[in-house]
Amino acid sequence: MMTTTQSAPDTPSPSDHPLLPRAAGATLAEQLAARIAERIAQRLLAPGARLPSVRDCATRQGVSPSTVVGAYDLLQARGLVQARPQRGFFVRESTAPAAPAAARSALPAPVDATALIRGMFQAQGSLSAPGMGTLPEGWLDAPLLQRALRRVCADPAAWLRYGEPAGDATLRNALSRRLADIGIAAAPGQIVTAVGATHALDLVARTLLQPGDAVLVDEPGWAVEYARLTRMGVKLLPVPRGSGADGGPDLAVMEALLREHRPRLYVTVSVLHNPTGQTLTPAQAHQVLRLAEAHDFTVVEDDTYSWLAPAHATRMAQLDGLRRTVYVSGFSKILVPQWRVGYAAAAPALAERLIDTKLVTTLTTPAPLEHAVGLCLQQGSLRRHAERVTARLDAARERTVALARGAGCRFVTPPAGLFGWIDVGCDTEALALVLLDEGWLTAPGTLFHATPRPTTLMRINFASAQEPRFWQRLAALRAG
């Protein structure tokens, strides 16, 4: 979570919150300091995050303000937090060597995206996760995967040798047919597999970019992508996404950035955008491609949520024929997050360059898992599973939308896909700290901006935010 200049929202009486347990052998201040230190270590409180005010923390934990002051003093002594006059206490920023001047981003480095990733893993334990980035475990089809793996394991030799440099042939052939179904013509030789969609995006960036290059990105957008590109030493150029049903990239801002910075790439989620859920219209997609032609840049189209999207959704790779586009997708959002199988589809010459990058960075990808995914595609079992999931998601979305609106929240963009982008009316970073203390993992809007800013926006997962208790608590915090 990022630094804000607003205080945490007022909270109801201490009886509404889990009080700090009284443990023998440690003072209350030491116990509170240990709890906060653990969250810092887990990156659930990221560098730059603001701690609750002394008064708010005392109310929430059922202790005296002097106990909180003592805990914060202990954390300062350990170098974990720092006091800023007239502003409060903040998690200390990590120290790292400065990048060479030529490689520095045009923007401050984004929030440590590992806070969001570590939170995803933390949610697999005891936390409830309305802000989770994946489908609930109960929605996934373990027997489907077991059947595919049994078939792969029937040939032990498949585990004893390196896979093909471009990826498993069965998977690439099945992907070629899958892409044809959504209007993208890509021969198997134009497809390169990767260890998930994020790895495929990294292969494209490492192939086409050098430190100091400029890249257009969506804002709001995916924090991991911001962090990954920044660590490569490229300049992030955020392109605002509009609100409403037709909200796409702000083309006027995009054109101004193109003229000033001459970026090499535009990395975007055009279908079921994360976090807004928006999908580009054909007219918007066409306008972006015209700008790509006029200003000589490549569009990297991240279609991570492809299996949850309507069949008629427009992809820029469909309109462009992979001439100025690279299409990236994967299976973690529809199969299981742990099956890191992704791919990029590109023009033939670029596909060969992607293979070279793959060979020198990861050597190969796990052929048995790729082959199992290929079998799921080939036999139609993945398509049938996706149809069941989307039907279930439609029902969950309807319930969650009703709960969110009942709690006084407003949808900034029309609800679609897995995620909702809502305005809760108060600072969601501060709100996230309160909810985290109570066992709720949320995704405050500041995680999805390339530049630090307070915001009242929050991303919710329609599948994992159906619990009325969460919305009742959120409504109470808003009213407080």
Q: What is the per-residue pLDDT across 228-242, written as a single tens digit (0 to 9) for each?
A: 999 999 999 999 998
pLDDT at 23: 55
CA diameter of the chain: 70
Q: Of 357, 382, 407, which one is at a domain's C-terminal end? A: 382
Spatial strand order of the sheet with 419-423 comes to 410-411, 419-423, 457-461, 443-444
Name the band, by pLDDT with cuts 50, 70 and 90, for residue 187.
very high
Among candidates 211, 200, 169, 213, which has minimal Cα distance to 351? Answer: 200
470 within 8 A of 404, measured Cβ to Cβ: no
280 & 191 share domain: yes
Residue % of the chain over a pLDDT of 90: 55
Q: Is residue 436 part of a domain?
A: no
Q: Is residue 374 part of a domain?
A: yes
pLDDT at 11: 35
Q: Is residue 425 part of a domain?
A: no
* pLDDT tens-place string over residues 112-157: 455 555 555 454 455 688 988 889 989 999 899 889 888 888 877 7
pLDDT at 355: 97
Checking if the pLDDT of 21 tops 90, the result is no
Name the band, by pLDDT with cuts 50, 70 and 90, for residue 467.
very high
Q: Of 95, 127, 159, which one is at a domain's C-terminal end? A: 95
Cα distance from N-terminal residue to C-terminal residue, the chain: 22
Checking if the pLDDT of 96 tops 90, the result is no
Q: Is residue 72 part of a domain?
A: yes
The CATH number linked to 319 is 3.40.640.10
Q: Is the pTM of this model over 0.85?
A: no
| Residue 161 in tokens | 């040798």
Read off the pLDDT of each residue in 322-326 and give the average, rounded to a whole number.
Answer: 97
For residue 92, give Cα distances in angstroms to 3, 45, 58, 410: 11, 10, 21, 34
Read off the pLDDT of each residue in 197-213 and give the average, rounded to a whole number.
Answer: 96
The Cα 325–Cα 236 span in angstroms is 19
153 & 85 share domain: no
Choice between 466 and 133, residue whose per-residue pLDDT is larger: 466
Checking if the pLDDT of 97 tops 50, the result is no
Burial class (CB in 10 A: 0-12, 13-18, 19+), 91: buried
90 & 155 share domain: no
Q: How many domains does the chain have?
A: 2
* pLDDT tens-place string over residues 31-82: 888 888 888 876 677 788 888 888 888 888 888 888 888 889 889 888 899 9
* Placement of tokens 């995620």 in the chain: 419
Read off the pLDDT of each residue in 290-297 and give the average, rounded to a whole number.
Answer: 97
**DSSP letter, residue 164:** P
Read off the pLDDT of each residue in 11-34 and give the average, rounded to a whole number.
Answer: 62
| Residue 469 in tokens | 């208790």
| Residue 405 in tokens | 């609106």
User: What does the mean pLDDT of the chain come to?
Assistant: 86
Helix (H) or strand (E) run with residue 460 in it: strand 457-461
The CATH number linked to 45 is 1.10.10.10
Read off the pLDDT of each residue in 100-112 and give the average, rounded to a whole number.
Answer: 41
pLDDT at 125: 52
pLDDT at 245: 61
Read off the pLDDT of each residue in 317-330 and give the average, rounded to a whole number.
Answer: 97
Choice between 95 and 309, residue whose per-residue pLDDT is larger: 309
329 & 220 share domain: yes
3-state SS, residue 276: coil
Read off the pLDDT of each residue in 405-429 and give the average, rounded to a whole number.
Answer: 95
pLDDT at 118: 53
The Cα 102–Cα 269 span in angstroms is 28
pLDDT at 105: 40
56 & 159 share domain: no
Among candidates 477, 412, 474, which has minimal Cα distance to 448? Answer: 412
Dihedral angle sign, alpha carbons of residues 245, 246, 249, 252: negative
| Single-letter amino acid code for the residue at 186 | A
Q: What is the DSSP string of 223-239?
A: HHHHHHHHHTTPEEEEE
Q: Is residue 391 part of a domain?
A: no
pLDDT at 7: 34
Most confident of 106-115, 275-284, 447-456: 275-284
Read off the pLDDT of each residue in 359-364 and give the average, rounded to a whole number.
Answer: 90
Checking if the pLDDT of 185 tops 50, the result is yes
Residue 344 contacts by C-beta under 8 Å, 6 or more apart in sequence? 191, 192, 194, 200, 201, 203, 204, 326, 327, 328, 351, 354
Provide the domain limits for residue 25.
1-95
Q: Is residue 132 part of a domain?
A: no
Read off the pLDDT of each residue in 368-393 and give the average, rounded to a whole number.
Answer: 94
| Of the candidate ranges 136-145, 260-269, 446-455, the one whose mean pLDDT is the lowest | 446-455
157 & 13 share domain: no
Q: Is residue 442 part of a domain?
A: no
pLDDT at 173: 97
Q: Give me the half-sphere count of Cα atoms (radius 13 Å) on the Cβ side of residue 431.
A: 28
Checking if the pLDDT of 110 tops 50, the result is no
Dihedral angle sign, alpha carbons of residues 1, 202, 139, 417: positive
Choice between 244 and 269, residue whose per-residue pLDDT is larger: 269
146 & 293 share domain: yes
| Of the candidate ranges 104-113, 186-195, 234-243, the one whose mean pLDDT is the lowest | 104-113
15 within 8 A of 438, measured Cβ to Cβ: no
Alpha helices in 270-417 (DSSP H): 282-295, 316-320, 348-361, 367-378, 381-406
216 & 364 share domain: yes
Name the band, by pLDDT with cuts 50, 70 and 90, for residue 411.
very high
Beta bridge partners, 420, equal 460
For residue 19, give Cα distances in angstroms to 27, 32, 182, 360: 14, 10, 53, 52
* Placement of tokens 């029902």 in the chain: 395
Q: Of 366, 382, 398, which one is at a domain's C-terminal end? A: 382
Q: Is residue 110 part of a domain?
A: no
Name the band, by pLDDT with cuts 50, 70 and 90, for residue 26.
confident
The Cα 446–Cα 455 span in angstroms is 6
